Amino acid sequence: MTALLGPGFVAAIAYVDPGNIATNLTAGATTGYLLVWVVVAASLIAILVQFQAAKLGVATGRSLPQLSRERLPRWLNKLLWVQAELVILATDLAEFVGAAIGMWLLFGMPMPLAAVCTAVAAMLMLEMRRRGRSRPFELMSAAALLLIGAGVAYNLVTTGHQSPTEALGGFVPRIDGSASLLLAMGIVGATVMPHAIYLHSAIARREGAVPDSAWRSPALVRRALRLDCGIALGAATMVNVSMIALGVGLAGATADGWTGDLLEAHVELGARIGGFAALMFALTLLASGLSSSGVGTLAGDVVMVGFLSRQIPVRLRRLITMAPAIVALMIGVPLTMLLVLSQVLISLGVPIALFLLVYFCRDRRVMGPLVNSRATTVVATVAGGAVAAVGCALPLLLLL
């Protein structure tokens, strides 16, 4: 059972990336606790989705892209690979921005140099995982999640300006106007990440493990995967809710003068709370950006090998997909525009990954005794359909 624990923490990093930080802080600063329920609901769906992805990997011994290559037409797999690579590229944009901001705040490092350092760190993380060192990679992801949570918690406590009553009221589903609706859709769109689905289905498999062993103990496998996903993604959910509360506190401390800008948040924390609070905020951004970029890099490896079974050098391919983010930072493209563009592209890949996941997990010939029950398939389909609808509608709202 313990052999199945750990991959959930790698997937969880995708749920506390710089895009989540920016969206949640802005939501707290502009709408208060109004959208706490959206974070919780989206996170519950994410736990279900990642559990399905992990179960698929354990039950079949293959990643979702590999299974697609084996069972779907070749032309379709080529299209699936193209859209998956676009999702990875868009993910790199947001993660590189977060890491670059963190390095700039911590070391005064120019954005171009910060982008290059992020690329090097991401490649080193990929190399660790590719050489079979799964446990160190998973422990590093868990440590990053802990550091991000600690940074948010420290700033939340020291900033103050919290209302427990209003915070509890945030669990009641409601929307107040078009601005809060757009933020709610942004939170949902940034929560269920396609690259995390592909990646989790790959890393849930253990070296030397065969599907037969999982098929012999389906109940034990389900318990282990539920525990792994529940702990890791439950922790990510708490961090995301705390980010909204921190946004509320910062807005209150500045008499609503701060509305979510990450650079201004660092300045306000340093001026009003102290240098250590500003330091923790910068470390949080850096840990989020670096760890999530490493996860994105590994996801890129998974989708190409899975969908195409190509032997193109991984380092070369990753340099190509990271190049747009590096170039954009070097030429000084506005950071907000980068985040919006990345969200648009990522959201377009959500329905595809969810459809593939539900399609295979419902098939007993593929999953054996680990196949979804009818109730699970219905719930996963409805939840996935809702997230997919949000993902498809978000680009339209952002571009209007």
pLDDT, tens digit, 9 for 90 and up, residues 281-296: 888 888 888 888 777 7
- What confidence tier does 335 reach under pLDDT thresholds 50, 70, 90? low
Q: Which amino acid is at 1?
A: M
What are the C-alpha distances in Å from 30 to residues 203, 206, 244? Answer: 38, 44, 10
- What confidence tier does 354 reach under pLDDT thresholds 50, 70, 90? confident
**Measured distance between the N- and C-terminal CA atoms of the chain, rounded to whole angstroms:** 49
Least confident of 84-93, 141-150, 318-327, 328-337: 328-337
Give the pTM. Answer: 0.86
Rounded distance between C-alpha atoms, residue 220 and residue 227, angstroms: 11
Contact 55/224 with Cβ under 8 angstroms? no
pLDDT digits (tens, 9 = 90+) for 372-389: 888 888 888 887 777 777
Rounded distance between C-alpha atoms, residue 89 and residue 345, angstroms: 9
pLDDT digits (tens, 9 = 90+) for 9-32: 888 888 888 878 888 888 888 888
Contact 360/367 with Cβ under 8 angstroms? yes
What Rg, from alpha-carbon coordinates, does the chain have?
Answer: 20
pLDDT for position 242: 92
Task: State how far Cα 73 lies from the chain centre.
Answer: 29
Rounded distance between C-alpha atoms, residue 187 and residue 182, angstroms: 9
Residue 356, burial from CB neighbour count under 10 angstroms (0-12, 13-18, 19+): buried
Q: Which amino acid is at 312?
A: I
What are the C-alpha distances in Å from 159 to residues 57, 61, 238, 245, 361? Answer: 43, 47, 18, 10, 45
Q: Check whether 337 has a pLDDT greater than 50.
A: yes
